[in-house]
Amino acid sequence: MSGKTLITGATGGIGSAVTRSLAARGYDLVLACRNTSKAEALRQQILAEHPQARLELRPLDLTSLASVRRFAASFGPGQVSALFNNAGVISRGYALTGDGFENTFSINYFSPFLLTRLLLPCMEPDARVVNMVSLTCRFVRVDERALLPAEKDFSQLGTYARSKRALLLSSLELARRHPELRVNLADPGIVNSGIITMGRWFDPLADVLFRPLIKSPEQGAVPPLSALASEERDRYFVGKRSAAIPDRYRDPALQRRLWDETERLLSIQ
């Protein structure tokens, strides 16, 4: 791989496991992070173990479209070999970003969409795009109206699941529009990381009873690592294997409508 591999959320549980593994294998990495001191600490830890590792930090806050635009503008034509849209949140309550998008949708859907779109001219012809989805996708449906949820429609897990389903549908449409790219989905399973802290009374109980039973971040990193190394396209990476993206997710007309509406909302020409 000659160009750069970009990782959003590299400071998180799964993101840092992926970053460590790719750094050890000599990938030229850009860590896209909102918390640059946390990212610098990770960089130093990795460099202590792998002094030859190629790790660069660039700031990216997915609640700000201006930040996404600045980050994307820092790359030139052909510089990007792979983009791993990994950062994600399960927002505790309803809140809008400065751009007027619901917070979870901004971080999990709109900003990754915009980032991917803006980086297309910077990608190598057969670049990899790996989008992190979730098994919660299968329990919800979305259409254009779901993109801007009102406060009454918000629920912590429901909104998260809908944002991930929208990301899944936009990945299918990206793959259709850009067959030259290797667009794949990764589903890490249920992983012991920061995101599963729900900000609720039962968190301490879950920490004791639930966390020991679920996957480690290193196990959760297996599907995205496989996708980032794969020659395949249009696949769903889960556990140690990849499969065809289930037909239940495919809806070409809906994919197109969502894509067009997202471009309109983001004022993309």
Ligand X SMILES: NC(=O)c1ccc[n+]([C@@H]2O[C@H](COP(=O)([O-])OP(=O)(O)OC[C@H]3O[C@@H](n4cnc5c(N)ncnc54)[C@H](OP(=O)(O)O)[C@@H]3O)[C@@H](O)[C@H]2O)c1
Interface residue list for ligand X (CB under 6 A)? 8-9, 11-15, 34-35, 38, 60-63, 86-89, 107, 132, 134, 188, 190-191, 193-196
The smaller minimum CB distance to ligand X, of residues 35 and 74, is found at 35
* Catalytic annotation, pick one of 27, 109, 160, 236: 160
Instruction: Tell me if 175 sits within 8 A of 233, measured CB to CB.
Output: yes
CB of 66 to ligand X, least distance (A): 13
Helix axes 13-24, 222-229, angle to 10 degrees: 40
The smaller minimum CB distance to ligand X, of residues 137 and 175, is found at 137
Taking phi over 0 as left and psi of -120 to 50 as alpha, with beta for the rest, 199 belongs to left
Q: Where are the beta strands (DSSP E) in 41-177?
A: 54-59, 80-85, 123-132
Pseudo-torsion of CA 162, 164, 167, 169, nearest 10°? -60
Instruction: Tell me if 241 sits within 8 A of 235, measured CB to CB.
Output: no
Is 160 one of the annotated active-site residues of the chain? yes
CB of 6 to ligand X, least distance (A): 12
CA distance 147 to 163: 8
Instruction: Tell me if 96 sits within 8 A of 49, measured CB to CB.
Output: no
CB of 266 to ligand X, least distance (A): 16
Residues near 97 by beta carbon (within 8 Å), at least 6 away in sequence: 63, 64, 103, 106
- Phi, then psi, of 220 in degrees rounded to 5: -65, -20
CB of 70 to ligand X, least distance (A): 13
The smaller minimum CB distance to ligand X, of residues 197 and 260, is found at 197
The smaller minimum CB distance to ligand X, of residues 88 and 149, is found at 88
Whose tokens are 């610098």? That residue is 40
The smaller minimum CB distance to ligand X, of residues 190 and 256, is found at 190
CB of 100 to ligand X, least distance (A): 15
Give the residue numbers annotated as catalytic, written as ranges. 160
